[in-house]
């Protein structure tokens, strides 16, 4: 089966790339390993660097209908409940960055992208486990576990943190942070320990944080608790599932303020997620194969940029291929995509780690952090321009 472009992985990054390429006239086929196109997790934050791209793809209207536009991002002390600093997301923010900040359910965004891909003529193949790929000078190809093979002019690997295709570029492995995350959503009227419904709030404290914000036009409430596992710190050889359990969750948040302690009761306690990233990768492209999203640059969640950076990748990829004069120069076009994106994405990866350290510091470090945060005006965007601003001339 042939297409102009093969995309391996049908998550948010893969579908955004497929939509952007299809709108430029490419024939695109997406190969998804799972039996259906679906997203794990719950809440998702979309900063202007992502919503600008979604606006250009014609789906921002549906995103706004399905999501919530918060009034501000707020950091509070998880221990005292004191307000530390905020970022105003109102009109000055919108004027500065040209697009809104939106929070929404991950599955809602995937459904919007899926429908848009269908309407654009993208071939969407679920249940296709890609086990081998090639990208020589003449073509790219993907072979699936069931024996089906696909060919195209280029292959885009958007197969996530545990990407098998990344092994063509590096023998590295995901890096465990030693932090575990618990998530939970509930009807808005069921959650008694919630913050203001027009805010995204992160409660930060020593070795932990707790995030709250509304989803689905304010109908449900999303919460995430993250903490450093003492069990993992004592024995990094433990397998996932052997550390970070509910007992550790309760111990970690036991010293927090009353609202945070109460709010942890609304989390799902039968499952939790160990938090991983990888070291930045110098090269994302090889011949007619390129990495995208978490396959290229998986990052910790502290900047809420994982999906946003994948969406930016998709936009840069489509522009690079739109400027390609012929199939024989696909490799050069993909190298241009890498040149635009790799250095910036690596900076986001590294900064996410640093921002997590800032959130989780204790003692004198926390006192100094809090004093600096309190002095910062809510309309000071100097720290977010590099991340939310446009880098495309």
What are the catalytic residues? 213
**CA 381 vs CA 155, 239, 347, 387: distances in Å:** 38, 41, 18, 10
Query: Do residues 207 and 214 make contact, with C-beta atoms less than 8 angstroms apart?
Result: no
Q: Please count the other Cβ atoms lying within 10 Å of the Cβ belonging to residue 297.
A: 27
Distance from C-alpha of 255 to C-alpha of 234, rounded to nearest angstrom: 21
Length of the chain: 393
For 85, phi then psi, to 5°, come to -165, 160
Phi, psi angles (nearest 5°) of residue 182: -115, 140
Cα–Cα dist 355/281, whole Å: 20
Residue carrying the six token digits 């799972």: 34
3-class DSSP string for the chain: CECCEEEECCCHHHHHHHHHHHHCCCCEEEECCCCCCCCCCCEEEECHHHHHHHHHCCCHHHHHHHCECCCEEEEEECCCCCEEEEEECCHHHHHHHCCCCEEEEHHHHHHHHHHHHHHCCCEEECCCCEEEEEECCCCEEEEECCCCEEEECEEEECCCCCCCHHHHCCCCCCEEEEEEEEEEEEEHHHCCCCCCCCEEEEEEECCEEEEEEEEHHHCEEEEEEEEECHHHHHCCCCCCCCCCCHHHHHHHHCCCCHHHHHHHHHCCCCCCEEEEECCCCCCCEECCEEECHHHCCCCCHHHCCHHHHHHHHHHHHHHHHHCCCCHHHHHHHHHHHHHHHHHHHHHHHHHHHHHHHHHHCCHHHHHHHHHHHHHCCCCCCCCCHHHHCCCCC
């Amino acid at each position: 089966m042939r297409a102009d472009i093969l995309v391996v992985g049908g998550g948010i990054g893969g579908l955004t790339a497929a939509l952007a390429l299809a709108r430029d006239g490419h024939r695109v086929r997406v190969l998804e390993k799972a039996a259906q196109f679906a997203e794990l997790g719950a809440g998702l934050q979309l900063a202007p660097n992502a919503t600008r791209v979604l606006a250009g793809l014609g789906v921002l209207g549906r995103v706004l209908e399905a999501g919530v536009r918060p009034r501000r991002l707020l950091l509070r002390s998880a221990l005292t409940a004191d307000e530390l600093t905020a970022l105003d997301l109102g009109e000055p923010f919108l004027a500065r960055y040209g697009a809104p900040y939106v929070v929404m359910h991950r599955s809602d965004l995937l459904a919007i992208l899926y429908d848009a891909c269908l309407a654009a003529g993208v071939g969407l193949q679920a249940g296709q486990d890609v086990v081998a790929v090639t990208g020589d000078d003449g073509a790219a190809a993907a072979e699936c576990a069931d024996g089906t093979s696909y060919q195209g002019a280029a292959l885009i690997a958007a197969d996530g943190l545990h990407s098998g295709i990344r092994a063509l570029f590096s023998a590295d492995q995901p890096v465990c942070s030693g932090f575990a995350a618990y998530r939970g959503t509930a009807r808005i009227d069921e959650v008694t320990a919630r913050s203001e419904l027009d805010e995204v709030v992160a409660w930060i404290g020593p070795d932990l944080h707790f995030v709250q914000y509304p989803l689905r036009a304010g109908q449900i409430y999303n919460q995430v608790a993250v903490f450093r596992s003492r069990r993992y710190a004592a024995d990094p050889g433990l397998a996932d599932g052997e550390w970070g359990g509910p007992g550790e969750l309760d111990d970690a948040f036991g010293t927090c303020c009353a609202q945070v302690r109460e709010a942890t009761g609304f989390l799902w306690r039968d499952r939790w997620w160990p938090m991983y990233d990888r070291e930045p990768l110098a090269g994302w492209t090889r011949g007619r194969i390129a990495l995208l999203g978490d396959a290229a640059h998986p990052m910790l969640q502290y900047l809420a940029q994982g999906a946003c950076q994948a969406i930016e990748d998709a936009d840069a990829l489509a522009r690079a291929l739109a400027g390609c004069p012929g199939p024989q120069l696909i490799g050069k076009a993909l190298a241009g995509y890498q040149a635009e994106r790799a250095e910036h994405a690596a900076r986001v990866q590294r900064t996410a780690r640093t921002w997590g350290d800032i959130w989780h510091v204790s003692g004198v470090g926390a006192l100094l952090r809090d004093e600096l945060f309190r002095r910062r005006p809510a309309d000071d965007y100097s720290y977010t321009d590099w991340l939310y601003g446009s880098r495309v001339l």
